[in-house]
Amino acid sequence: MFGVYFGKYLQDIGVLSDEQYCEIIEASRHARVKMGLLAVSAGYMSEAQADEVNQLQAMKDARFGDIAIEKGYLTEEQVTELLKKQGDSYLLFVQALVERNLFTLEEIQKYQNNYKKTRRLTAIDLDALKSSDIDKIIPLFTKGASAPAVVKDYIALMARNIVRFVDNKIRFEKLEKVTTYTSKFIASQSFQGDYDLFIGVGGTGNKQIGEAYAKEKFDSIDEDCLDAVCEFINVCNGLYASKVSEEDTTIDMLPPSMYTDVTTISSEGQMFVMPCFINGERADIIMCMEAKWKID
């Protein structure tokens, strides 16, 4: 995933063209093999066990490896070994740059140092970005917005599910506290219960999410596309509700809503927007709290 951030930086400073950026990302996209497939081909799990773990993933917000360990199908050592086999996405990105004679390794190192400096990243931040571990990456983008834990937790959960259902070559930008948000395309669902939440996804990136979730091509971001995004949000919200129910918190999901005209969401309570770029299209994750939101 670091390749997506670093590649964007190289593009921004003008040493990588838009076309080259897309080509490199595409080249490294399919290099990652699914953990279940690796575990079965290594003889660690049967296909039936892998299918069972995949099904359990639908019911809880946990990674394949974690569930497999919990079920006793894999050991921690085996998961570590399989993660290594899955491939280091940053190395694959670097390999794609070098193979195309775009940069030497020394040049890449120089640009990487500049990237670290201009983005004011610590060595730990850089390692987190290079890890491709969404749980380490998301806090880099949520830490400055003084958002409550609910917001950070939810954003991390949705990010994990975007990686799982939509694309693993995604790029986040900093979470922002806002008072209004306007978009022509918004899919949403609210929670009611021990606390109230509005969850929405706005922007042209809805097309990427809708198509990936429904496994269908849409000509435009129409009601069918937003309906698919609503289903995706519904799945995320279900996983979130399931997670908080373990802490004795009850929240019920309301029927999803979609907006295909220019719509403004405003709130007198806390409201946050987290931009996520999928294939260059922006999808904003919108969260409002305290039941003080208004939709016009």
Q: Measured from the CB of residue 23, what is the shortest distance to another protein in angstroms?
A: 31
Compute the distance between CA of residue 240 and CA of residue 234 in angstroms, rounded to an integer: 10
Q: Measured from the CB of residue 116, what is the shortest distance to another protein in angstroms?
A: 38
Q: Give 239 or 289: the residue with its C-beta nearer to another protein.
A: 239
DSSP string, 168-208: S-EEE---EE-SEEEES-EEEEEEEESS-EEEEEESTTHHH
For residue 210, the Cα-to-chain-centroid distance in whole angstroms is 14
Classify residue 234 by burial, with Cβ atoms within 10 Å: 0-12, 13-18, 19+: middle
Q: Give 237 or 263: the residue with its C-beta nearer to another protein.
A: 237
Q: Measured from the CB of residue 81, what is the shortest distance to another protein in angstroms?
A: 27
Q: Give 120 or 215: the residue with its C-beta nearer to another protein.
A: 215
* Contact status, residue 156 vs residue 135, Cβ threshold 8 Å: yes
Q: What is the DSSP letter of 133?
A: -
Q: Measured from the CB of residue 212, what is the shortest distance to another protein in angstroms?
A: 11
Write phi, then psi, for 49 (nearest 5 degrees): -65, -40
Q: Measured from the CB of residue 157, what is the shortest distance to another protein in angstroms?
A: 11
Q: Give 114 or 250: the residue with its C-beta nearer to another protein.
A: 250
Q: Give 135 or 224: the residue with its C-beta nearer to another protein.
A: 224
Q: Measured from the CB of residue 165, what is the shortest distance to another protein in angstroms?
A: 7
Q: Give 56 or 108: the residue with its C-beta nearer to another protein.
A: 56
Compute the distance between CA of residue 2 and CA of residue 140 in angstroms, rounded to an integer: 12
Q: Which residues bind another protein (CB under 8 A)?
A: 51, 54-55, 58-60, 165, 213-214, 216, 223-224, 227-228, 230-231, 234-235, 237-243, 245, 250, 252-256
Alpha-helical (H) ranges within the chain are 2-12, 18-29, 35-41, 47-59, 64-71, 76-86, 89-99, 105-118, 123-130, 134-142, 149-165, 206-214, 223-245
